[in-house]
Amino acid sequence: MAALSMAGVPGLFILLLLLCVFREVSPYSSPWKPTWPAYRLPVVLPQSTLNLAKPDFNAKAKLEVSSSCGPQCHKGAPLPTYEEAKQYLSYETLYANGSRTETRVGIYILSNGEGRAQGRDSEAAGKSRRKRQIYGYDGRFSIFGKDFLLNYPFSTSVKLSTGCTGTLVAEKHVLTAAHCIHDGKTYVKGTQKLRVGFLKPKYKDGGRGDNSSSSAVPDKMKFQWIRVKRTHVPKGWIKGNANDIGMDYDYALLELKKPHKRKFMKIGVSPPAKQLPGGRIHFSGYDNDRPGNLVYRFCDVKDETYDLLYQQCDAQPGASGSGVYVRMWKRPQQKWERKIIGIFSGHQWVDMNGSPQDFNVAVRITPLKYAQICYWIKGNYLDCREG
């Protein structure tokens, strides 16, 4: 693949991406079937890997971070150059033995089997996260009973030992928020021995239960834990290397030491909010105010930028890292399919026409983020051509 640098020419850089990367199909195959758009996706490939010193694991997991940069601030911020985009999408990998590497990437657009590197990932912006909010009536639903908790899509939600939520996106991979394991400067305490918890039924007398059980609810639900083998965090989240753009890159991927054997939810490129069914998003997480409960919610998207979705889904600490998903029609397979289109990050106060308003914010999976995360999962860009 040949790489064409566009450093210092952000306008042309964006124009080429919009013309060459996206091949969007009409989102509606019929009035009652909102359809997953099709994209010709970019490719994000490793170029070089450096060994880094072992980090300190002394950061506290922060659930309250604030920013004054809202949607309008995002939309008016300078666009990244090609070199900046490559820097933001480069990433750190932390291994279970405490070793750490930095991988630098190249960005490519495939055209007739040939590679030309272009791409952009975000409108540079500030970070934001504060205490999760309940907006008026609490619209969350606690999910009870093994018939729900252990079935898709709720079974894809898992708990991190650092206190956040994650979502199963492959046989051995969990998608979550970067701030759940890294505070932007170093790794959160406990990340070196990070575990992922799967909610399972605990029956009396150590029994496993059977189909003839008269009760849908076992004696208790408990977490079964699996250790994490390695984690990937984009350099865009690590403040020293990305000009403090923060929340745009608040996502991370965890690879487990062994397969989890559950059905997982695929990732997908986030469609524009107006194309989402009913304009709504859904996610489930382990909110701290309901210990041991999986909490589901849905709500309308209020605003969006290229990298973020602004909404007022009720949520509390612990829900960070939840996979935000929608269900749309998959035209080639002629079936409905849920996909993760974002990662719930946290809370933000926004100046709306001189009046402060608060939102909960999710990081959108853009085409470049999809290409990066998919490569982390698959290890082969040829398996990442469909978003």
Distance separating the N- and C-terminal Cα atoms of the chain: 21
Q: 46 forms bridges with which residues in the sheet?
A: 105
Domains belonging to the chain, first-starting first, are: 33-107+142-202+217-378 (2.40.10.120)
Residue 111: the pLDDT is: 61
Residue 353: the pLDDT is: 66
Q: What is the mean pLDDT of residues 256-271?
A: 95
179 assigned to active site: yes
Q: At what angle do helices 367-378 and 82-89 cross, to 10 degrees?
A: 40
Q: What is the mean pLDDT of residues 235-261?
A: 81
| Percentage of the chain modeled with pLDDT above 70 | 71
DSSP secondary structure letter of residue 76? H
Q: Which of 67, 155, 320, 345 is catalytic?
A: 320
Residue appearing with tokens 């639900």: 221
Is residue 384 within 8 Å of residue 43, measured between CB atoms?
Answer: yes
| Tens of pLDDT, residues 25-45 | 444 444 568 999 988 899 999
| Tens of pLDDT, residues 293-344 | 888 988 999 899 889 999 888 888 889 999 999 999 998 889 999 999 999 9
Cβ neighbourhood burial of 265 (10 Å; 0-12, 13-18, 19+): buried
Taking the CA atoms of 269, 277, 132 and 194 in sequence, report the sign of the dihedral they define.
Answer: negative
Instruction: List % helix, strand, coil for the chain (3-state, nearest 5).
Output: 20, 35, 45
Q: Which of 56, 138, 244, 383 is catalytic?
A: 244
Q: Which of 179, 232, 282, 347 is catalytic?
A: 179
Q: Which of 104, 58, 27 is nearest to 273 (CA)?
A: 27
Query: Residue 152 and residue 138: Cα distance in Å, rounded?
Result: 24
Residue 196: the pLDDT is: 97
Residue 29: the pLDDT is: 43
SS3 381: helix
Residue 139 to residues 17, 251, 259, 296, 382, Cα–Cα distance (Å): 39, 25, 34, 9, 41
Q: What is the mean pLDDT of residues 138-160?
A: 72
Query: Residue 372 and residue 376: Cα distance in Å, rounded?
Result: 6
| Whether residue 255 has pLDDT greater than 50 | yes
DSSP secondary structure letter of residue 267? B
| Tens of pLDDT, residues 83-118 | 989 999 999 999 999 999 999 999 998 764 443 334
| Whether residue 264 has pLDDT greater than 90 | yes
Query: Residue 167 and residue 154: Cα distance in Å, rounded?
Result: 9
320 assigned to active site: yes
**Count of helix runs (H) and strand runs (E) in the chain:** 5, 19
| Tens of pLDDT, residues 213-235 | 444 444 577 899 999 999 999 99
**Residue with more model confidence, 366 or 125:** 366
Q: What is the mean pLDDT of residues 248-264?
A: 95
Q: What is the mean pLDDT of residues 52-64?
A: 81
Query: Residue 305 and residue 311: Cα distance in Å, rounded?
Result: 12
| Tens of pLDDT, residues 173-215 | 999 999 999 988 899 999 999 999 998 877 665 555 444 444 4
Q: What is the mean pLDDT of residues 270-279?
A: 92
Neighbours of 374 (CB within 10 A): 26
244 assigned to active site: yes
Residue 306 to residues 15, 66, 248, 368, Cα–Cα distance (Å): 14, 20, 9, 11
Q: Which of 27-41, 68-82, 123-137, 353-367 has the lowest mean pLDDT?
A: 123-137
pLDDT-based confidence at residue 120 (cuts at 50, 70, 90): very low
| Percentage of the chain modeled with pLDDT above 90 | 45
Q: Which of 363, 195, 196 is nearest to 267 (CA)?
A: 363
Is residue 142 within 8 Å of residue 265, measured between CB atoms?
Answer: no
